[in-house]
Chain A
Amino acid sequence: METSTALFLTMLIPTVAMAGNMAFKDRENLRDGFTFICALLTFACVLCILCAVGNGTMEEIALFEVVSGLTIAFHVEPLGLMFAIIGSGLWILTHLYGIGYMRGNNEDHHARFFACFSIAIAAVMGIAFASNMFTLFVFYEILTLSTYPLVAHKGTKDAIIGARIYLGILIGTSIALLLTGVIWTFVAAGTLDFVQGGILEGKIAPSLVPILLALYAFGIGKAALMPFHRWLPAAMVAPTPVSALLHAVAVVKAGVFSILKVGIYIFGIDFLAQTGASEWLMWLAAYSIIAASVVAMTKDNLKARLAYSTVSQLSYITLGMALATSMGALGGGMHIAMHAMGKITLFMCAGSIYVAYHKTEISQMQGLGRIMPITFIAFLVGALSIIGLPPLGGSWPKFLLMVGAADAGHQIIIAVLMLSSLLNVAYLLPIVGRGFYRPVTDSKLPKGVAEAPLLCWLPPAITAFGCLILFLYAGAIQDFLAPIVGL
């Protein structure tokens, strides 16, 4: 298969999946099976591209020109390809998990749910393969709009208000700040193409670079940089599969992925280092890391705690870009993969606890670990990966980020990263401890082992195992990503 065909198919197949969900609205097995096949095919297409291109860069394929100078165009480069692999690979697992969750929980409107989900995946593929900022922006907005119905899914008052905050912040920042920044870039540089080394050097006064960077850093609201992080906890009203894929993988990762893309291909790491324009962002990201972790400790609701943990972890990636060193950017890129694997495990575990026993608060989970051992062990593994302990995947990006911080001469950042790990321990491990060591207080819970449905506990078990595997293959990922920073 031609690589370009495969590339278009990665966006087309999820769209077909959406159409299938609409068409087979009431025949649930056919509908869900069809979507599952589409998910497999999408992943296969991404793998095809991987085999054909490797970590090289593929020529741009322009689809059409909207306005002169602004084209909808795609290309393949390592960072985007990695994002596409994560997105499409985890779609398969989340879809399985979603079937288990939606049926096990008797949620309504399955067809609408999976249809929006598929569109969101198509948008993720578009973001991953976008070869210019304009294309990325278009798919970024499609992603926001297609996930809105997912957040508002339950249709309760809480869900509507949560969805309003979600949409308000994401659309608001993207229109008011990001779009302004994009147009400014276009007027200044005359192009929006992603080019190795950036397009802005010499095109814009150095004193204005921090302002433009601020438009991007805050405008990409999906990266949840403080103070624009409120949408993430608000979006936790959505059903858990949504939180799992969209808020641990697709949406937030689309945000930090865009941040990295902008840093590497629009500004250029060297240009940022020369002008020192990103230093303020580095400190803000460091603040975000610590502050969000502290807030997470105060949350009793499991999903809210995980949401704040995500806010904190996303800032690692922003920090990696803002360090303006190649190691930092590399660490940021790798953290996209590692955090995705770890966090989706945690969210899926939270969801299976909810499906099995309708527990949402951590204080209610006393002794639950002995009833749901697989879920809790998976949670433990995911948590350890997030904390960054070997032998789990999450340890490598932290290591690279620290190297990057040392390169940039910011020892304090190393201290921040270490402190953050300790805070992660403090808010994640007690959940597991409570589950295994405290006695069961709720008399309604069964005696002995009684796990959630198979489709609820199996996917997190697989991703937890994935965290282990990633530790061993971190070197391969690092080599794979190396070209993006010119190593």
Chain B
Amino acid sequence: MAAEETHHVAKTFMDHLPVLQVVIPLFAAPIIVFIGKRSLAWPIAFAASAAAFVISCILLIQVLDGGFISYHVGGWAPPLGIEYRIDAANALVLALISGIGTVVLPYAYESVKAEIPKKNHTLFYACFMLCFTGLLGMVATGDAFNVFVFLEISSLSTYVLVAQGANHNKRALTAAYDYLIMGTIGATFFIIGLAMLYMATGTLNMADLADRIADEGTNRTIRAAFAFIVVGMGLKVAIYPLHHWLPNAYTFAPSAVSVFLAATATKAAIYVLLRFMFSVFNPSFVFEEWTLYIVFIPFSLLAMFAASFVAVFQTNIKRMLAYSSIAQIGYMLLGIAMLNATGLSATLVHLVNHGVTKAALFMGVGAMMLYSGSAFFNNLNGLGRKMPLTGAAMVASGLSLIGVPGTAGFISKWVLVQAAFENGWWIIAIAIMLSSLLAVIYVWRMFEVLYLTAPDPQSTAKEAPLAMLVPMWVLAIACIWFGFDTELTLGSARVAADGLLAGSAGMAH
């Protein structure tokens, strides 16, 4: 979009798209509760998320040329009003979130029936819509305080969603409580950081903040604000030493929630982190002056090795996947720390690729749990042979998690290592490869359990219902597809990375 258009008050329907994709699910939530009929809850939720997905695809196509769309909520011009600003970076993340949401809902239909008591179904879908809204909102908005608001919407609803696992295993309650405490600390840090920024600059609009920080130069308040924001968001991202909440939350949440959270929640937080680091504070402030990468690299290496190592020894497959997620976040962080266009596009492309991969894996485990009752390895013996289609989908996505050529994971790894070589960081490149060997071990453990052990003779397992298989296979095929056709994923990620590296200049009015 050309700059001169951006100050206009939106007139046509198309102009309202940036806000519509947040507003539609936001309104879907209360509508589901007011109607209160179980049979209508799912269709409404699905329609809302599908609409959001369509909108985010349209937005992504519009901004792929490297431009941006600025939308003024209520026609109030920023910095006074709230601005929604869509560029390639957040359009990509929006597409991921709304895409996963749309795919997860058909899956949830069966798994919610099996795992959650009937009286909670409508509320579950309402909560799901709120969580969905929150994630979309925090990514779409161009207003720092608005990020906080949506962050809280998504977090609070996530705590509820995780706690729904209590019907299956009471530990879901403590997991949700843990997450609540940690998440609240993170959000508090974040809001403290925002308050300091507001104190120092007098504005909360991101583009405006960027201008004023650039004019004013740094002072102690701004530096402190930066530290608070990074740590606060880092908690939501589950950067290695701040990851404590993640394994339990993923393990004990209902299957559909695990799928959705693993694919989207941390990804949205990473996006916010990126946005603040590159667009609000500009890269030279973050890296050259502050050399933040000295902090990021050790933590990401720790995540890659320690979390993968822990994953190898898990007895519960969901927990194993959760630790693997922490390790994968390490890769994304490492991409940021490279501070070159290739590294940043590795982060962004891995964000999408890993989201798709992990969602497919969690779906597979969830389908198997319908029959096995638990996600412990010794309850899943030989299920790959009893549920061939589910098993095959898990093999495809498992290979993508390792990063075997021909899968999405391979592309991420290739770009990441390429970025390391471009910086001349040989040791880091080798470390990335070595840590991915740990992924081979834990993924292969899963394959051996699924295929090479004798199934329990009393097991009643049969192929998963169609409503679960289709979403699982959509994602599994995406894992393969994005390994060959990278136009959409890597192409958008490159545009986004260039945009982010242009720093605050790209945000200027």
Q: Which residues of A contact B (CB under 8 A)?
A: 64, 66-67, 70, 72, 137-138, 141-142, 145, 152, 155, 160, 164, 167-168, 171-172, 175-177, 179-180, 183-184, 186-188
CB proximity of B346 to chain A, nearest CB, Å: 11
Known A175-B436, A176-B433, A176-B437; contact A184-B405, beta-carbon cutoff 8 A? no
A175 and B429 contacting across the interface, CB-CB below 8 Å: no
Known A67-B486, A176-B433, A183-B418; contact A160-B452, beta-carbon cutoff 8 A? yes
Known A67-B415, A138-B405; contact A155-B433, beta-carbon cutoff 8 A? no
Chain B residues, Cβ within 8 Å of A186: 418
A172 and B440 contacting across the interface, CB-CB below 8 Å: yes
Q: How distant is the Cα of A172 from the Cα of B438 in the complex, in angstroms?
A: 9
Closest 3 CB pairs of A and B: A187-B421, A138-B405, A176-B433
A180 and B404 contacting across the interface, CB-CB below 8 Å: no
Chain A residues, Cβ within 8 Å of B109: none
CB proximity of B435 to chain A, nearest CB, Å: 10
Chain B residues, Cβ within 8 Å of A183: 414, 417-418, 421, 429
- Say whether chain B's binding surface is mostly helix, strand, loop, or mixed: helix
Residue from A66, A145, A177 within 8 A of B399 (CB atoms): A145
Q: Is B411 an interface residue (CB 8 A)?
A: yes
CB proximity of B399 to chain A, nearest CB, Å: 7
CB proximity of B330 to chain A, nearest CB, Å: 17
Q: Is B422 an interface residue (CB 8 A)?
A: yes
Residue from B434, B440, B483 within 8 A of A171 (CB atoms): B440
A164 and B444 contacting across the interface, CB-CB below 8 Å: yes
> Quick one: which of B69-92 are within 8 Å of A by CB?
none
Chain A residues, Cβ within 8 Å of B440: 167-168, 171-172, 175
Chain B residues, Cβ within 8 Å of A188: 421
B411 and A175 contacting across the interface, CB-CB below 8 Å: no
CB proximity of B451 to chain A, nearest CB, Å: 8
Q: Is B344 an interface residue (CB 8 A)?
A: no
Q: Is B508 an interface residue (CB 8 A)?
A: no
Residue ID in chain B nearest A178 by CB atoms: B433
Residue ID in chain B nearest A144 by CB atoms: B404
A175 and B448 contacting across the interface, CB-CB below 8 Å: no
Known A175-B436, A183-B418, A183-B421; contact A141-B406, beta-carbon cutoff 8 A? yes
Residue ID in chain A nearest B445 by CB atoms: A164
CB proximity of A207 to chain B, nearest CB, Å: 13
Known A67-B490, A180-B433; contact A142-B406, beta-carbon cutoff 8 A? yes
Q: How distant is the Cα of A168 from the Cα of B434 in the complex, in angstroms?
A: 12
Q: List 4 additional A-B contacts (Cβ < 8 Å) besides A137-B405, A175-B433, A183-B421.
A: A145-B404, A177-B433, A180-B429, A184-B421
Chain A residues, Cβ within 8 Å of B490: 67
Q: Is B290 an interface residue (CB 8 A)?
A: no
Q: How distant is the Cα of A141 from the Cα of B406 in the complex, in angstroms?
A: 9
A67 and B421 contacting across the interface, CB-CB below 8 Å: no
Q: Which residues of B contact A (CB under 8 A)?
A: 399, 402-406, 411, 413-415, 417-418, 421-422, 429-430, 433-434, 436-437, 440-441, 444, 448, 452, 483-486, 490
Chain A residues, Cβ within 8 Å of B437: 171-172, 175-176
Q: How distant is the Cα of A188 from the Cα of B490 in the complex, in angstroms?
A: 21
Chain A residues, Cβ within 8 Å of B403: 175
B422 and A179 contacting across the interface, CB-CB below 8 Å: no
User: 21 pairs across A/B with beta carbons < 8 Å?
Assistant: A66-B486, A67-B415, A137-B405, A142-B406, A145-B404, A160-B448, A160-B452, A164-B444, A167-B444, A168-B440, A168-B441, A175-B433, A176-B433, A176-B436, A176-B437, A179-B417, A180-B417, A180-B430, A183-B429, A184-B429, A187-B422
CB proximity of A51 to chain B, nearest CB, Å: 32
Known A141-B405, A179-B433; contact A64-B484, beta-carbon cutoff 8 A? yes
Chain B residues, Cβ within 8 Å of A167: 440, 444
CB proximity of A440 to chain B, nearest CB, Å: 39
Residue from A66, A155, A176, A187 within 8 A of B484 (CB atoms): A66
Q: How distant is the Cα of A56 from the Cα of B139 in the complex, in angstroms?
A: 56
Q: How distant is the Cα of A332 from the Cα of B406 in the complex, in angstroms?
A: 30
Chain B residues, Cβ within 8 Å of A145: 399, 404
Chain A residues, Cβ within 8 Å of B448: 160, 164
Q: How distant is the Cα of A142 from the Cα of B404 in the complex, in angstroms?
A: 9
Q: How distant is the Cα of A66 from the Cα of B412 in the complex, in angstroms?
A: 12
Residue from B399, B411, B418 within 8 A of A187 (CB atoms): B418
Residue ID in chain A nearest B415 by CB atoms: A67
Q: How distant is the Cα of A399 from the Cα of B415 in the complex, in angstroms?
A: 45
CB proximity of B488 to chain A, nearest CB, Å: 12
Chain B residues, Cβ within 8 Å of A138: 405-406
Chain A residues, Cβ within 8 Å of B405: 137-138, 141-142
Residue ID in chain A nearest B452 by CB atoms: A160
Q: How distant is the Cα of A215 from the Cα of B53 in the complex, in angstroms?
A: 44
A141 and B404 contacting across the interface, CB-CB below 8 Å: yes
Chain B residues, Cβ within 8 Å of A177: 433
Q: How distant is the Cα of A176 from the Cα of B433 in the complex, in angstroms?
A: 5
Q: How distant is the Cα of A186 from the Cα of B429 in the complex, in angstroms?
A: 14
Residue ID in chain B nearest A149 by CB atoms: B451
Known A145-B404, A167-B444; contact A155-B430, beta-carbon cutoff 8 A? no
CB proximity of A236 to chain B, nearest CB, Å: 18
Chain B residues, Cβ within 8 Å of A175: 402-403, 433, 436-437, 440
Residue ID in chain B nearest A145 by CB atoms: B404
Chain A residues, Cβ within 8 Å of B399: 145
Residue from A66, A155, A184 within 8 A of B411 (CB atoms): A66
CB proximity of A125 to chain B, nearest CB, Å: 16
Chain A residues, Cβ within 8 Å of B486: 66-67
CB proximity of B439 to chain A, nearest CB, Å: 9
Q: How distant is the Cα of A145 from the Cα of B414 in the complex, in angstroms?
A: 19
Residue ID in chain B nearest A184 by CB atoms: B421
CB proximity of B228 to chain A, nearest CB, Å: 37
Q: How distant is the Cα of A164 from the Cα of B440 in the complex, in angstroms?
A: 11
Chain B residues, Cβ within 8 Å of A67: 411, 414-415, 486, 490
Q: How distant is the Cα of A180 from the Cα of B437 in the complex, in angstroms?
A: 13
Chain A residues, Cβ within 8 Å of B485: 64, 66
CB proximity of A320 to chain B, nearest CB, Å: 28
Q: How distant is the Cα of A130 from the Cα of B490 in the complex, in angstroms?
A: 24
Chain B residues, Cβ within 8 Å of A142: 405-406
CB proximity of A133 to chain B, nearest CB, Å: 11
Chain B residues, Cβ within 8 Å of A179: 413-414, 417, 433
Chain B residues, Cβ within 8 Å of A141: 404-406
CB proximity of A200 to chain B, nearest CB, Å: 14
CB proximity of A375 to chain B, nearest CB, Å: 33
A152 and B433 contacting across the interface, CB-CB below 8 Å: no
Chain A residues, Cβ within 8 Å of B404: 141, 145
Q: How distant is the Cα of A67 from the Cα of B430 in the complex, in angstroms?
A: 22
CB proximity of B34 to chain A, nearest CB, Å: 49
Chain B residues, Cβ within 8 Å of A172: 437, 440
Q: How distant is the Cα of A137 from the Cα of B414 in the complex, in angstroms?
A: 12
Q: Max chain A CB contacts within 10 Å: which of B405, B411, B448, B452?
A: B405
Q: How distant is the Cα of A167 from the Cα of B402 in the complex, in angstroms?
A: 13
Q: How distant is the Cα of A145 from the Cα of B404 in the complex, in angstroms?
A: 9
Chain B residues, Cβ within 8 Å of A152: 452
CB proximity of B304 to chain A, nearest CB, Å: 13
Q: How distant is the Cα of A142 from the Cα of B480 in the complex, in angstroms?
A: 13
Q: Max chain A CB contacts within 10 Å: which of B411, B484, B485?
A: B484
Q: How distant is the Cα of A184 from the Cα of B231 in the complex, in angstroms?
A: 34
Q: Max chain B CB contacts within 10 Å: which of A70, A175, A184?
A: A175
Q: How distant is the Cα of A184 from the Cα of B426 in the complex, in angstroms?
A: 9
Q: How distant is the Cα of A142 from the Cα of B407 in the complex, in angstroms?
A: 11
Residue ID in chain B nearest A138 by CB atoms: B405
Residue ID in chain B nearest A157 by CB atoms: B452
Chain A residues, Cβ within 8 Å of B421: 183-184, 187-188
Q: How distant is the Cα of A177 from the Cα of B413 in the complex, in angstroms?
A: 14
CB proximity of A222 to chain B, nearest CB, Å: 15
Residue ID in chain B nearest A72 by CB atoms: B484
Q: How distant is the Cα of A473 from the Cα of B14 in the complex, in angstroms?
A: 73
CB proximity of B133 to chain A, nearest CB, Å: 35
Q: How distant is the Cα of A175 from the Cα of B402 in the complex, in angstroms?
A: 10
CB proximity of B498 to chain A, nearest CB, Å: 14
